Amino acid sequence: MKLSEKKRLAARILKVGVNRIWVDPERTGDISAAITREDIRRLIKSGAIRAKPARGTSRGRARKLSLKRKKGRRSGPGSRKGAKHARFREKSRWIQTVRPLRSRLRELKKEGLIGPREYRRLYRMIGGGVFRSKAHLETHLKEKGILKG
């Protein structure tokens, strides 16, 4: 019997595919002499025939890509699937703008640069979305003469 037949038998016994069967090249004589399933089982026990470990999917390429994405690459218009606000919620954007503005306003009040009435008025303006950024708030305060610049 040919070696391929032995491999097929071994694959059936080990419950793996034929391509996963490894045959010891030094013991091909013993293997070709084997006829029955029992002979094959004996050879498996002695280590002349083995099942190779199952191959998984390599994550190497995926890791490489994720590192690039971490750096901010691969995020151009061709890679985007969702709408603008599906990718980055408007609410999150709003929070990112408003929190620093309100904290800066608190600092100014604490330092005594603005009074409670001015604070309240500016707080409402921030809530109304008048200011784009802290820098915008500062320029507004300088224009109005509230802060000396």
In tens, the pLDDT along 92-112 reads: 999 999 999 999 999 999 999
Q: Which residues lie closer than 8 Å to 30 by C-beta, 6 or more apart?
A: 43, 48
User: What pLDDT score was predicted for residue 147?
Assistant: 85
Q: What are phi and psi of 84, to 5 degrees?
A: -55, -45
Overall pTM surpassing 0.85 (yes/no): no
User: What pLDDT score was predicted for residue 148?
Assistant: 77
Cα angle, residue 123 at apex, residues 135 and 144 outer, rounded to 5°: 55
What CA–CA distances, in Å, run from 95 to 17, 19, 44, 68, 130? 57, 57, 66, 28, 14
Q: Which amino acid is located at 26 in the chain?
A: E
What CA–CA distances, in Å, run from 50 to 22, 42, 47, 133, 142? 5, 11, 6, 68, 81
User: What pLDDT score was predicted for residue 1?
Assistant: 64
Mean pLDDT split into 10-residue runs, the chain, 149 residues = 90 96 94 94 96 96 98 96 92 97 97 95 97 97 86
User: What pLDDT score was predicted for residue 50?
Assistant: 96
Which residue bears the tokens 């994720």? Answer: 66
β-pairing verdict for 49-51 and 21-23: antiparallel
User: What pLDDT score was predicted for residue 16?
Assistant: 97
